[in-house]
Amino acid sequence: MYSNAYIFRYASILVILVAAILSAAAMLLKPMQDRNVAVDKMQSILVAAGFEGVDAKNAIELFNKYVTNMKVIDPSGEIVDDYTTDNKENSTAFKLNLKEQLYNKASGRDYKLPMYVVNKNGESIYIIPLYGVGLWGPVWGNIALKGDFNTVVGVTFGHKAETPGLGAEIETPIFEDQFPGKTIFDGAGNFVSIGVIKGGVANQPNDRQKHLVDAISGGTITSNGVNDMIKNVLESYEPFFKKQG
Amino acid sequence: MSAVKKEKEPLFSAKNRKLLTNPLNIENPITVQVLGICSALAVTAKLKPAFVMALSVIVVATFANVIISILRNGIPPRIRIIVQLVVIASLVILVDQVLKAFVYDVSKQLSVFVGLIITNCIIMGRLEAFAMGNKVWPSLLDGFGNGLGYGAILIIVGFVRELFGSGTVWGYHVIPQPVYELGYMNNGFMILPPMALIIVGVIIWIQRAKNPQLIEQK
């Protein structure tokens, strides 16, 4: 029979040993994981702009080729930083942590916003990263706008832990393909964002339909999260949009 | 000393070979023991994630069996389940970290299911039923065999679902365009989890038809 002291000793040693192994592994693999996350971000930006055939292997090359500028914008809508040279992943705009910046904004502190400019067939497309909350964890994405800062070219979404088959459907083409062609300002020039709604876009008045997409059945909280994310992030860029208009 | 030593059992004796091959057939964890069904339904819409999941489970099952078998005489029985869980959980976290570092896109697809290997009953079942009472080498074979048995079913299901659901195998189109033009369509139902259950059911049917000893006597 084992004594209680033995059980405690055994458990403590086991746990400390396991903790050491896991922390060592996490530290060793961190640089590679960060690299993958950065490449994934580039891929997502390019896909939002409508590029096809982007994979993990060519993402860095294509990113440096087609992204022409990485801007940083301040709350009043002024551009405070431009980055047009190579190695775009070193730019301030790329490294800017949107989660922190949105938190700064919410708590009334100074904040900065990133914007990526992509050249596609001679046309400049402006990509804005998104960050918000879903049901189980964060949701994020990119929204690409035309030069009028109104019409959506494309979107990509991602999530940490939404329910597979329900909320996780936000990252499928079925959901994302609803966005191209929608507009974020109404006819009078007021910011209306893009709403993710239940009950069918087709049942809405005609002039509202171009600002709305269908939510995901069974994924209401995730859909609401996406709705709030788009509104909250794009709202922050409104002064910038107005200055360009 | 050497005179009293028993004759050493060969590494791949008939008994040991059975440890490796039985889980592939008459003791298959999915089709006979009906364990680990949830993940079999969840990750088999495409062949690639199914393959990576199979590989991950093989690695975790093998190493968990080996580690628990090494520790088996020192583990206090009162906390043995917790010890088993700690071993499984750390192996799974290691696998998850490695996947994130080397095959990021697959790790994104598998998302929560890698973490759920921890709750895969096959692994803990083998630790409790086998590794706690057997030497290291047989435990290694048993873990590897059960991982393989699980993986084999996953890959068969993944292959069928991807072929008929998306018309691809490992992401490559195999059903030629002219066939689509004749009116053939990918079966969207194949992508949904219920179809995995039906395919597993068909595999069980075929297996039982071929192995009468698996059929319960009334």
Give ipTM to 2 decimals: 0.75
Report yes or no: A184 and A130 within 8 Å, Cβ to Cβ.
no
Whether the pLDDT of residue B9 is over 80: the answer is no
Measured distance CA(B24)–CA(B151) in Å, rounded: 9
Of A53, A12, A226, which is closest to residue A140 (Cα–Cα)? A226
Count the alpha carbons within 13 Å of B175 in the hemisphere toward its beta carbon: 17
Is the CB of B83 inside 8 Å of chain A's CB atoms? yes
Terminal C-alpha separation, chain A: 80
Percentage of the residues of chain B whose pLDDT score is greater than 70:
95
Beta partners for B113? Answer: none
Number of domains in chain A: 1
Report yes or no: A181 and A174 within 8 Å, Cβ to Cβ.
no
Is the CB of A20 inside 8 Å of chain B's CB atoms? no
**H-type alpha helices, chain B:** 14-21, 37-42, 47-71, 80-102, 104-110, 112-115, 121-129, 136-166, 177-181, 193-210
Give the pLDDT mean for B90-112.
85
Q: Which of B79, B94, B193 minimises the CB distance to A11?
A: B79
In chain A, which stretches have pLDDT less than 50?
none
Confidence grade of residue B160 (pLDDT, cut at 50, 70, 90)? very high
Q: Which of B76, B86, B112 minimises the CB distance to A6?
A: B76
Contacts of B77 in chain A (CB under 8 A): 2
Measured distance CA(A153)–CA(A132) in Å, rounded: 21
3-state secondary structure of A126: strand
Predicted local confidence at residue A234, as pLDDT = 93
Measured distance CA(B153)–CA(B143) in Å, rounded: 16
Confidence grade of residue B212 (pLDDT, cut at 50, 70, 90)? confident
Measured distance CA(A144)–CA(A126) in Å, rounded: 5
- Looking at the domain assignment, is residue A16 inside a domain? no
Measured distance CA(A147)–CA(B137) in Å, rounded: 66
Mutate to test the interface with B, among A22, A36, A58 (most CBs of B within 10 A): A36
- Looking at the domain assignment, is residue A18 inside a domain? no
Measured distance CA(B154)–CA(B200) in Å, rounded: 9
Closest residue, chain A, to B82 (C-alpha): A11
The per-residue b/e assignment along A46-77, b for 16 or more CB within 10 angstroms, e otherwise, is: bbbbebeebeeeebbebbeebbebbbbbebeb
Predicted local confidence at residue A5, as pLDDT = 93
3-state secondary structure of B195: helix
Measured distance CA(B30)–CA(B202) in Å, rounded: 12
Asked if B104 and A6 come within 8 Å (Cβ–Cβ), the reply is: no
- Looking at the domain assignment, is residue A177 inside a domain? yes
Closest residue, chain B, to A15 (C-alpha): B86
Mutate to test the interface with A, among B46, B73, B79 (most CBs of A within 10 A): B79
Helix or strand run (H / E) with residue A130: strand A123-133
Contacts of B97 in chain A (CB under 8 A): 25-26, 29, 33
Any idea which of A146-155, A184-193, B162-171, B198-207 has the lowest mean pLDDT? B162-171
Whether the pLDDT of residue B4 is over 70: the answer is no
The number of angstroms, rounded, from the C-alpha of A210 to the middle of its chain's C-alpha atoms is: 22
- Looking at the domain assignment, is residue A226 inside a domain? yes
Q: Where are the domains of chain B?
A: 29-204
Contacts of A54 in chain B (CB under 8 A): none
B-proximal residues of A, 22-81, CB under 8 Å: 22, 25-26, 29, 32-33, 36-37, 39-40, 56
Mutate to test the interface with B, among A17, A32, A136, A174 (most CBs of B within 10 A): A32
Whether the pLDDT of residue B104 is over 80: the answer is yes
DSSP-assigned states of every residue in B74-114? TS-GGGHHHHHHHHHHHHHHHHHHHHHHH-HHHHHHHTHHH
Is the CB of B41 inside 8 Å of chain A's CB atoms? no
Asked if A29 and B111 come within 8 Å (Cβ–Cβ), the reply is: no
Q: Which of B42, B94, B112 minimises the CB distance to A25?
A: B94
- Looking at the domain assignment, is residue A165 inside a domain? yes
Whether the pLDDT of residue B111 is over 70: the answer is no
For chain B, give the mean pLDDT: 86
Report yes or no: B56 and B114 within 8 Å, Cβ to Cβ.
yes
Measured distance CA(A161)–CA(B114) in Å, rounded: 12
- Looking at the domain assignment, is residue A4 inside a domain? no
Helix or strand run (H / E) with residue A38: helix A4-48
- A98-106 and A220-244 helices cross at what angle (nearest 10)? 80
Task: Please give the C-alpha separations between residue B88 and each of B63, B113, B121, B129, B153, in angstroms, as whole numbers.
Answer: 9, 14, 11, 15, 22
Give the pLDDT mean for B128-149.
93
- Looking at the domain assignment, is residue A23 inside a domain? no
Predicted local confidence at residue B172, as pLDDT = 82
B-proximal residues of A, 155-214, CB under 8 Å: 161, 164-165, 168
State pLDDT tens for residues B57-94: 999 999 999 999 999 999 999 999 999 999 999 999 99
3-state secondary structure of B145: helix
Closest residue, chain A, to B110 (C-alpha): A164
Asked if B108 and A2 come within 8 Å (Cβ–Cβ), the reply is: no
The number of angstroms, rounded, from the C-alpha of B96 to the middle of its chain's C-alpha atoms is: 16
Measured distance CA(A187)–CA(A200) in Å, rounded: 22
3-state secondary structure of B172: strand
Asked if A33 and B79 come within 8 Å (Cβ–Cβ), the reply is: no
Confidence grade of residue B1 (pLDDT, cut at 50, 70, 90)? very low
Predicted local confidence at residue B127, as pLDDT = 92
Domain span including residue A204: 35-244
Asked if A21 and B104 come within 8 Å (Cβ–Cβ), the reply is: no
Predicted local confidence at residue B2, as pLDDT = 46
pTM: 0.77
DSSP-assigned states of every residue in A177-241? TT-TT-BSB-TTS-B---EEESS-GGGS-HHHHTTEEE--TT-HHHHHHHHHHHHHHHHHHHHHH
Cα dihedral: A185, A186, A191, A195 (round 10): -90
